[in-house]
Amino acid sequence: MAYDEILAGRVRDRLAGLPGISDKRMFGSLAFLLDGRLAVGVTGDDLMVRVGPDGADDALTRPGARLMEMGGRRMRGWVRVDGAELDDDVLTEWLGRARDFLETLPPR
C-alpha cells in the first residue's frame, strides 16, 4: 500500500526540528521515529499513531480513530486515524499524543 505524500509532508514539517526524528519506509508505509522508536506512520491517507496501551481507549473516542490492525491482528497501543479528520490542529494533537507516550518510555 502506498502512502499519501501530502500527509507525509505535513507530518515531516511538524516534526522538523525535533532532535532524534527520522523517517523510514516500512511495510509500504512511511514511519516516523523519535530516537529510533516508532511514533507515527502514514499509511494510505491515514495516520497510525502510537498512543500506548493506557492511551488507546481515550484515543478511540476521538473522531476518525479506530483500532489499528496489521495483517488481521490488532496492534496494541496503536490507533489509525482517518486522514479526512486531520486538519492542522488535529494532526498536531495526534503527533503530540505520540510524543507524550514515547516520553513515558525508559531511555535506551
pLDDT digits (tens, 9 = 90+) for 51-68: 999 999 999 999 999 999
- Domain tally, the chain: 1
Query: Which pLDDT does position 1 carry in this prediction?
Result: 56
What's the confidence (pLDDT) of residue 57? 96
For the record, the C-alpha cell of 33 comes out as: 521515529
Q: Which domain holds residue 88?
A: 5-102
pLDDT recorded at residue 35 = 93
State the pLDDT at residue 108.
Answer: 79
Residue 70's pLDDT is what? 84
Question: If DSSP codes are grouped into helix, strand and coil, which group holds residue 14?
Answer: helix
80 within domain boundaries: yes
Where the chain has pLDDT below 50, the residues are none
pTM (predicted TM-score): 0.93
Predicted confidence at residue 71, as pLDDT, reads 84
Residue 108 lies in a domain: no
Asked, for residue 43, whether it belongs to a domain, the answer is yes
Question: Cα 70 vs. chain centroid, distance in angstroms?
Answer: 14
Alpha carbon distance 68, 10 (integer Å): 21
Q: What is the CATH number of the domain that holds 88?
A: 3.90.1150.30
pLDDT on residue 15: 96
| Residue with grid cell 480513530, as numbered in its chain | 65
Give the span between the Cα atoms of 80 and 41, in whole angstroms. Answer: 9
